[in-house]
Structure 1
Amino acid sequence: MNSGNNTSTLKNLIFDLGDVIIPIDLTAPVRNFAMLANLPETEVQAIWKQYDILNKYETGLVDDNAFRTHVRQVLKNDSWADEVIDTAWNTVLLDLPVERIERIKELKQNCRLFLLSNTSPIHIRQVNHVLSEMNQPTLEELFEQVFYSYEVRLAKPSPEIYQHVLAKAGLVAEETAFFDDNAANIRAALELGIRAIHVQAPKTILDYLKDI
């Protein structure tokens, strides 16, 4: 492992989802909603921040229907069907490289595997749909346990979400590696004694998994 830690005591691997397992484009949903609403991207971005739409949805404060209703209200278009909103929302997800899934499946032989993601139900359903089309297991089948921010009502980098994962899965921090693309999320995990590895382009998760 690139961190130089001894991998012989490594028993557990926790993966982020976006830009670790599946590539994402965080600017795409705003861009697509701006086109749908015939508004400048900067205006849609400002509306997003003003109403804190993403955080409320990803921490389970609103459900799918409330999220869609909120999007229609703030972008002033009551005619959008659920599928229109879901499709625009899912443009954040790019093509999923099958070799990443295959490598994770290999790792199941030697390590306990977990998923920890700040995400929303619409995105998870779409990722699982893509996986099924690739004849691959769903996220819930691929990992021993999945921890979605909207289900646990917590989000990275809050220390509480890491403590929740460690406690719920019965993990020892020092025996656990956590892979994430976000520096703040990495710092928070490190402070709890987890072996946190910052996944940074142009490297992919496969580069960081070579020595495991």
Structure 2
Amino acid sequence: MIKNLIFDWGNVLIDVSVERFAKSCKAFGIQFADDEVGSAHKAGFFLEYEKGNLSDCEFRNEIRARASVILSDEEVDSVWNGMLGRIPVEKLQLLYMLKDTYNLYLLSNTNSIHWNTFSKKSFDYRGLNADDFFKGIYLSYKLHTAKPDSVIFHKAVEDAGIDVRETLFIDDSFANCMTARSLGMSVLHYKPGDNLESCILKELEQKEVI
């Protein structure tokens, strides 16, 4: 029986647009290697930042080094934050519905600028915040490791004290889902744009828990 649901943040809950970020970068003459930014995984200094191995200041300087104009901290943050949108209200309603029946957790590859900018306002629903929805929030930059590495999964599961056999992991990355499955979790490989509620309820029905 599934008792625990572990959600990814980007593309599962909050809207992500790498294209919007790329457009903002172009406006400031910021250029990156082709493999440095991707919709599911990041590489290079982006990945190091999401693992918490770079400070906000060091990250901003990496962006500045690739720009053709001088950028303030606020301008760098504005470009970087342009990647994220909002959590659609129907997904917040879904979390609100599920939290009384299941133990909800968040496991995300993210960074301090994104989390500190968006975590409060993106989960603002009925006076609640992120901590009200989730029993545990596990972020790559705080844990100094990132999905799909199994280390971050082990850290989250150990801290939460949950049984992987009673856990459904929901992520838009196939690689992340494969790691979760290898550890004994049930997985839902979510495709952005699909109806999240329908996908989850269908998966739970197949597990004969509702």
Could you tell me which residue of structure 1 aligns to residue 9 of structure 2?
A: 17
Secondary structure of 1:34 counterpart? helix
Distance in 1, matches of 2:5 and 2:124, equals 26
Could you tell me which residue of structure 1 aligns to residue 32 of structure 2?
A: 45
Matches within 5 A, 1:80-119: 80-119=71-110
After superposing the two structures, state which structure 1 stretch, 190-199 or 61-70, moved more. Answer: 61-70
Distance in 1, matches of 2:123 and 2:50, equals 23
| Length-normalised TM-score, structure 1 | 0.85
Aligned residues of 2:92 and 2:125 also touching (Cα < 8 A): no
Q: More helix per residue: 1 or 2?
A: 1
Q: How far has the Cα of 1:135 moved from its partner?
A: 5.4
Q: How far has the Cα of 1:123 moved from its partner?
A: 1.1
Q: How far has the Cα of 1:47 moved from its partner?
A: 7.5
CA distances 1:158-212 after superposition (whole Å, capped 9, x unpaired): 0111111111111111100000001111111100111111001441322223355
Aligned residues of 1:48 and 1:54 also touching (Cα < 8 A): no
Could you tell me which residue of structure 2 aligns to residue 3 of structure 1?
A: none
Aligned residues of 2:12 and 2:190 also touching (Cα < 8 A): yes
Secondary structure of 1:197 counterpart? strand
* From 120, 134, 150, the counterpart of 1:143: 134
Secondary structure of 1:151 counterpart? helix
Give the 4+ runs in structure 1 shifted more than 4 A: 132-136
Structure 1 position 169 matched with structure 2 position 151: no
Aligned residues of 2:172 and 2:190 also touching (Cα < 8 A): yes
CA distances 1:104-127 after superposition (whole Å, capped 9, x unpaired): 122111111100000111111222
Distance in 2, matches of 1:60 and 1:19, equals 21
> What amino acid sits opposite 2:136 in the alignment?
Q
Equivalences, count: 198
| Length-normalised TM-score, structure 2 | 0.86
Distance in 2, matches of 1:168 and 1:198, equals 24
Could you tell me which residue of structure 2 aligns to residue 69 of structure 1?
A: 61
Could you tell me which residue of structure 2 aligns to residue 204 of structure 1?
A: 195
> 5+ residue gaps in structure 2?
38-42, 205-210
Aligned residues of 2:28 and 2:67 also touching (Cα < 8 A): no
Q: How far has the Cα of 1:129 moved from its partner?
A: 4.2
Would the alpha carbon gap of residues 61 and 176 (structure 1) be closer, same or farther in structure 2, given more than 3 Å must change? same
CA distances 1:65-92 after superposition (whole Å, capped 9, x unpaired): 1111221123254x31211111111111
Distance in 2, matches of 1:132 and 1:176, equals 23
Secondary structure of 1:209 counterpart? helix
Would the alpha carbon gap of residues 136 and 198 (structure 1) be closer, same or farther in structure 2, given more than 3 Å must change? farther
Distance in 2, matches of 1:129 and 1:30, equals 25
Distance in 1, matches of 2:25 and 2:180, equals 34
| Cα RMSD after superposing both structures | 2.1
Matches within 5 A, 1:119-130: 119-130=110-121
> 5+ residue gaps in structure 1?
1-8
Distance in 1, matches of 2:187 and 2:123, equals 30
